[in-house]
Structure formats: structure tokens, C-alpha cells
Structure 1
Amino acid sequence: MKRFLCFLAFVFAGCGSALAQVPNDPLSWLGRISSAAHKLNYTGTFTYQSGKHVETSRITHLVDANGEYEKLEALDGSPREVVRNNDEVQCFLPEQRLLIVDQFGARRSFPARLPPSPNALAENYRIRKGEVSRIAGMESQQIILEPRDEMRFGHHFWADVASGLLLRARLVGEKGDSIEQFVFTEVQIGAPFDKEKVRSRFTRSSDWKVVNARGNDVRVEDIGWIFRNSIPGFRQVVSVARQARKERGEAYHVVFSDGLAAISVFIEPESGKGVAQSGLSASGSFNIFRRTVSDHRITVLGEVPAQALVRIADGVEMRKR
């Protein structure tokens, strides 16, 4: 333990100063967790589990005066990488010779699961400290967020006591069941800056297809659709238009978030190839609700209870002209 504390003292410029920054109240802990994910250099391996599905990934996150750089590598199944340079995201799928270019979205990835300013979360979640335990060989403080209504799930976070970096995150259902979980199995905090470590190992040649998935920002007021139903605490954070297919016109993607949970609404012209299935379904940790409105397919999905999706979907209407 003495050697471990001395190591922390070297990495974080003094064991005493690191421990002095440890907050007592849970809301301050959330701010510390949020900051650590974006301001620290770290590299490690983590697992993701939802039901019986388990994936292992490796993440490298580096910071300098120009911003954040990150590489996420899938270690199971087909090779794939996600490389981020500040807000630009590139997804490399070498088996399909495909590169998807997108922008950093509203759904937060591990370990950056919290918004930059988490204080507003107290309006929709009861926040308290839990137990101290060891994860990936580090002392971690548990922070528990219990939803104040039935429109969102709960969250359990475990953060490294010394640095504040999130080591484990669990999404909790209405009955206390685990919906999904991220957890580091090993992590190095304070990794030296080496930009080569956040470059893709795949070389894109001329036969690769490049898909721009970023879309064009639009105002909801201008797209011809109305969202009559709202959910307390959720606000619009994304509204973009994309070309669905050449013959089908534009599709819209609108995202509402409370800072943790995100609800995506996709509005697309019907394909004309039969009647698409409506109603509720699920895919992994996501609930999905579909309905048809004015020859358009409305798809609403998110890691939220089904009633939240139904409420949003039932309020989507085409504006009367």
C-alpha cells in the first residue's frame, strides 16, 4: 500500500494534495468524475456487458493544449476502431472497407458518462455516496443516482479516489436489476502523451467507402414537425437533417437529454416496401418504439423506460400548413 501511494504521489504531484481534493458531498464527486474523464491522460481495457452480451475494448485518451484525442479499439469479434479528435469522430470498419465520419454526440461513452456541468442532475436524480471498494486495483468511491420519476433509469458510478476517473458504471432498472455495465479491468492513469497511440492502425486506401453521417444542423421549428409531449428534465441537444436516400428525401434526427439519459427521435419517409412494424421492441440496453405518422416512420429509442419513449413518440406530429 505504501508503494501504491508513493506511485500516486508521483503521478498526481503529491499524495497529500491528491487526497486533499477528494470531496465529501456526492454532487461534487460527480463534477470531479466529469472533469477527470476529459482532462486526464489514461489508457486501459474495459468490458461492456448487457444481458448475456459481453464485449472487451481498449481505450487511449490523451489531452494537450489543442484538446482531446481518443482511440477506442474493439478486442472481440470483427476489428473496428473509433478515433476521436475533439468533436470529430471516425469509425474504421476494415472488413467492409468503410469509414464513417460523425461528430461527438449526445450519448456519452465510457468513462466520459457525465455531462460537463452535472449539478443539474440533482433535479431529476437523488444523489448519494455508497461504499468504497477496489476496482482494477484502485480504491473507488461509489456514487448512486436514483431517478425521481419513472421516466429514467438509475445509475451507479465507481470513481478512483485518487484521480476521480470513472472505473465502473452501471445502469439500473426499475427493480434494481443491472441493464448494462462498463468496468475497467486494468487502467493506467497519467499515461505519457504520445499522439501515435491515438492514430488508427488501419490505412484507408482508395477502395474504402467514406460515409459522412454528421448531417446538417436544423431548427426543430423549421423542419415541419412538432413535439407536443415533453419529459421533465429533458431538453433538445441535437437536431440534424440527413439525406435518407436519393429518392426518399430528408430524414431528421432529434435528441433530447437530461445530461445522462438520451432519447433519439428519427423521422424518415416511408420506403413504400410494405408496412413497417409498429410498437415496442428492445435491442440490448435500448428500448425502441415505432409508429407511422403522415407517411413517415417515427422511431424513438434510448436507454430509458418504455413509457418515456411512448410519451415522446405519441406527441410527434406534422405541422399543419
Structure 2
Amino acid sequence: MARIILLLLLSGIVQTSFAQKLPNSSKEALGWLEKISIAPRRHNFIGTFIYYADGHMETSRIAHIVDQNGEREKIEVLDGLPRIVFRNNDEMKCYLPESKRIVTEKRWLRKFFPDLLPQSYGSLNDNYYVSKGERERVTGYECQVILLEPRDNLRYGHKFWVDVDTGLVLKAAVVDADHVIEQFAFAQLDVGDITNTELLEPNQSIVASEWHTTNLMASVLKDNELEWQVRDPPAGFKKIIEMKRNIAGKSTPINHIALSDGLATVSIFIEPISEKISSPVPGFYSSRGAINIYVRILADNKITIVGEVPLETVKKIGDSVVKQATNFSIKSLNH
């Protein structure tokens, strides 16, 4: 709480550079990014990984298969309320057994460990200094440590432990200076052919039950088609998509703009303030791990910024959102 209050007091002061300019990343270090990016689309694996942040620990089981039809994956959370995500390429189904609900949507921006880098990673050197660390063992595999040090304080640093044979990330940490904000790590992993494809199918108890399905659809828009725009995004962040989206818990579609620096993503959600509910309270809201949230009110709309970046950055992006006149038309409907 004290950290939030301090940032509110200092919110008008945003430093954007370090005193020392970092050099260009070496070709060898950048080559490891290519291995990391393509590895999940080349290898089959089954394993158990642990997520840790803010004193919270969560264990998940994953099965991942690549074949002529693309990628299929099942991630089952083993702690707390049961959750199971089935992914077929970019189509996702999330099963929530406690409420007998299935939520379907596209994997627009979500990253799932160990698939953490986009296929287009060329801009990372502009925003991060990429370097090699030592070699270390993770769950029995020899790994090369790859460090991504931010070139300013608008983003977090990252540390990847990469299997030297496959390029799969076996451990990943988001760091702020020397402080680990969140971490993923395999506790057990088998890489190779997976003959039992039933591992990626819902079990019979799920199939036999009656579930309520919610389909979250999105309408992708042309560039600058929304009447809302980000006038002055922080250095290195570029708009990657704008759309109208259905969000769980919302009765009507809301505006969504997403920015990225090649690794970190920031989403901007804009919705009219309803007279039926109390007005939202502007300010910062905490979340677990690397995700930070900032809310502001503009022209009777609630603007929510959610990003895996420091609080100063979500505020800078949120305060740059402006409303402008535009002709609205939907380009295409995607499910």
C-alpha cells in the first residue's frame, strides 16, 4: 500500500532513461531469441510447472503437441479452483468445473509458459539489451541463461533459462533491478514424441456433464478506426491491434487497444460508464506478479489500462488516451 501511495504522489514524474547507455546486443545473444521463439512450434512436451509471485505458488500440468494441423495444448491448474485450458492453435476453451462454464475465445495477446516470445521479435534489441549468462541446470536439462535488460525504466527485465538442445524456455523470471517479480519454472519435463493424444482431450466426466458455454467474440478494426487513440505512447511501444471485444462479465462489447514493445503487452479497455452501477474510482489497482492496472475517467467513459509493465508506464499510456472523431466501421468478425 505504501508503494502505491508513493507512486500516486510522484505520478507526474516519470524518468525514461538510465544514466548509462547500453550497447547493442550481440548477434549470438539475439540468435538465442530465435531459438526461444520457434521452439514451442517444433517440439512436443509434457510437464509440470510452477508459477510463483507475491508469496503465491501455483502448480499446473501441461501437454503440448505439434503436428501437421498445428499446435494443440492442454494446461490444467492443479491448485485452488480447478481450471483447464484447451488450445487448438489460437482457439481456446477454458473449462471452469466449479461453475460448469466453458469460455471460448481467441488467443489474441495471451502468452502461456513456455511460449513467451512472439514470432516477430526483431524490435527487442531496440528496447532491451540481450546478453548471455552462465549455463545452469533446470529439472535435469542443461540451460543457457539469456538476460533481457531494459534500456529504460518503462519496462521490466527478463531472465530465461533455455534448454540448449531444443530452445524451450524451462524457467523464466520477470525482474525489476535485482527483485524477482514473478517466476515460472518446470519441476518435471519430458520432451519428445507424444503418442497418447488423449492427453489433450477433455475427460469423460467433463464431456458427460451439462456446461454453459460463453463465446467471447471480437471484431478487428482498421488502424485508427476507433474514436479512441493513444496520442503519445512511451518510447518503444507500438499499437498492434484495435478491436471491439466481448469480455466476460460485460453485457456489451467494449473497445480494446493493445500496445507492445516486442515482449511486454499493454491492453487499454474503454467502456461507457453505466448509470446502473456506481462510478469507478480512478487510480492504481494492484494485481499479482508483473501485471499492473490503472483506471481513469474521460468523457463519461471508464478507461482501464492493464499491462505487464511498471505502474509509471501504465499511467503514462492511460493518460495518453484521447477521444477523437472518426467514422466507425467493422472490418471483420473473428471468433
TM over 0.5: yes
Question: Does the 8 Å contact 2:133/2:147 carry over to 1?
Answer: yes
For structure 2, list consecutive stretches of 5 or more residues without a partner in the other structure.
1-25, 327-335
Tell me the alpha carbon deviations over residues 194-241 of structure 1, each in whole angstroms, 9 at most, x when there is no partner: 321111225356742211123211235222212112122222223221
- Note closer, same or farther for the CA distance 1:195–1:46 as it changes in structure 2 (3 Å cut): same
- Note closer, same or farther for the CA distance 1:183–1:247 as it changes in structure 2 (3 Å cut): closer
User: Match of 1:290, SS?
Assistant: strand
Once the two structures are superposed, the pairs formed by residues 193-212 of structure 1 within 5 Å of their partners are: 193-201=195-203, 203-204=206-207, 207-212=210-215
Match of 2:181 in 1: 179
Question: Does the 8 Å contact 1:41/1:193 carry over to 2?
Answer: no
Q: CA deviation at 1:246?
A: 11
Question: Does the 8 Å contact 1:71/1:200 carry over to 2?
Answer: no
User: Match of 1:197, SS?
Assistant: helix
In the alignment, does 2:164 pair up with 1:161? yes
User: Match of 1:32, SS?
Assistant: helix
Tell me the alpha carbon deviations over residues 152-206 of structure 1, each in whole angstroms, 9 at most, x when there is no partner: 1000000111221110000001x32001000001100113243211112253567
Letter in 1 for 2:286: A
CA distance in structure 2 between the partners assigned to 1:246 and 1:213 by the alignment: 10
Question: Does the 8 Å contact 2:47/2:186 carry over to 1?
Answer: yes
Q: Residue 97 of structure 1 is aligned with which of 100, 107, 111?
A: 100
In the alignment, does 2:261 pair up with 1:234? no
Tell me the alpha carbon deviations over residues 31-53 of structure 1, each in whole angstroms, 9 at most, x when there is no partner: 11111122100010000001111
CA distance in structure 2 between the partners assigned to 1:245 and 1:59 by the alignment: 24
CA distance in structure 1 between the partners assigned to 2:76 and 2:191 by the alignment: 18
Match of 1:47 in 2: 50
For structure 1, list consecutive stretches of 5 or more residues without a partner in the other structure.
1-22
In the alignment, does 2:300 pair up with 1:298? no
CA distance in structure 1 between the partners assigned to 2:170 and 2:49 by the alignment: 9
Match of 2:226 in 1: 223
Letter in 2 for 1:79: P
Q: CA deviation at 1:122?
A: 0.8
Question: Does the 8 Å contact 2:284/2:293 carry over to 1?
Answer: yes
CA distance in structure 2 between the partners assigned to 1:133 and 1:244 by the alignment: 41
Match of 1:309 in 2: 314
RMSD of aligned C-alpha atoms? 2.1
Q: CA deviation at 1:95?
A: 1.1
User: Match of 1:27, SS?
Assistant: helix
CA distance in structure 2 between the partners assigned to 1:149 and 1:245 by the alignment: 35
- Note closer, same or farther for the CA distance 1:95–1:26 as it changes in structure 2 (3 Å cut): same
User: Match of 1:31, SS?
Assistant: helix
- Note closer, same or farther for the CA distance 1:49–1:307 as it changes in structure 2 (3 Å cut): same
- Note closer, same or farther for the CA distance 1:149–1:70 as it changes in structure 2 (3 Å cut): same
Letter in 1 for 2:58: E
User: Match of 2:123, SS?
Assistant: helix
Letter in 1 for 2:60: S
Q: CA deviation at 1:268?
A: 1.0
Question: Does the 8 Å contact 1:31/1:117 carry over to 2?
Answer: no
Q: CA deviation at 1:276?
A: 1.1
Identity rate, percent: 39
CA distance in structure 2 between the partners assigned to 1:199 and 1:305 by the alignment: 38
- Note closer, same or farther for the CA distance 1:283–1:185 as it changes in structure 2 (3 Å cut): same
CA distance in structure 1 between the partners assigned to 2:285 and 2:310 by the alignment: 12
